[in-house]
Amino acid sequence: MPKKRAGRPIDRSKDGAILRAARALLFTHGPQAVTMEAVAQRAGISKATLYTRHPDRYHLLRAVVARESFALSRSLEQAPRDLNELRAALVSFLTDLATFLVSKHHQRLMQAMALPASALARARQTIYRNGPQRTQRMLADYLEAAAAQGLIACPDPAHSAELLLGMMMGLNPLRLAFGTPTRHRRRAERASHAQLIVRAFLSLHAVQ
């Protein structure tokens, strides 16, 4: 009986090209620009190749936004062993997140998301669930791990995660909406502000 010939090996470099193309379209022109045709053309691949990896544009949006969320949360990957590690990880996380939120490409995305297009409803939900909601969940898991280590008192990690994110954002979403310059425009300033926030947050969650 003849041996079955192996199929052509998957070219993983195309996966990266696809995600880079989709990300560029998302953060430059908004979710409505992330079509299978546009992504395939920008990535330099055929639509057939794209469909073998992502069955539709929403699956592709999920992959792009989830990847962004994981990148922003990389400092939360390991459970903290002591308060110093906890403090440093939270400061790093908040600084990276603040830098992303005030970036030009994030501002363009928010402007595109505000367009009154019913066709964007599913895209908005996809982006929210795999972006902000996933980020909050990862932060909550991290805080729960810190509580399990006895480093903080955190009976409701999801609530505490939302509190910390709200402390970090402050009025900046409104400043961006009204076209007013955000505070802490330099990364060093954002890091210093993050330290103040983490200090206040940890005092609220101190073990009695």
Residue 52 lies in a domain: yes
Domain assignment of residue 85, yes or no: yes
- Tell whether the torsion through CA atoms of 164, 166, 171 and 176 is positive or negative: positive
- Burial status of residue 152 (CB atoms within 10 A of its CB: 0-12, 13-18, 19 or more): buried
70 in a structural domain: no
Shared-domain flag, residues 94 and 22:
no
Is 6 inside a domain boundary? Answer: no
In the block, which residue shows the tokens 């509190």? 163
Q: Looking at the structure, do residues 26 and 82 belong to the same domain, yes or no?
A: no
Contact status, residue 20 vs residue 71, Cβ threshold 8 Å: no
Give the chain's domain count: 2
Asked if 23 and 97 sit in the same domain, the reply is no
In a shared domain, residues 189 and 96: yes
pLDDT band at 171 (very low <50, low <70, confident <90, very high): confident
Q: What is the mean pLDDT of residues 106-125?
A: 78
On average, the pLDDT of the chain sits at 89
186 within a domain of the structure (yes/no): yes
Residues 50 and 153 in one domain: no
**Residue 193: how many CA atoms within 13 Å on its side-chain side?**
22
Its domain, for residue 131, covers 76-204
Could you report the per-residue pLDDT of 11-28, keeping only the tens digit for each?
A: 677 999 999 999 999 998
What pLDDT band is residue 119 in, cutting at 50, 70 and 90? low
135 and 32 both lie in a single domain: no
| One domain, residues 36 and 93 | no
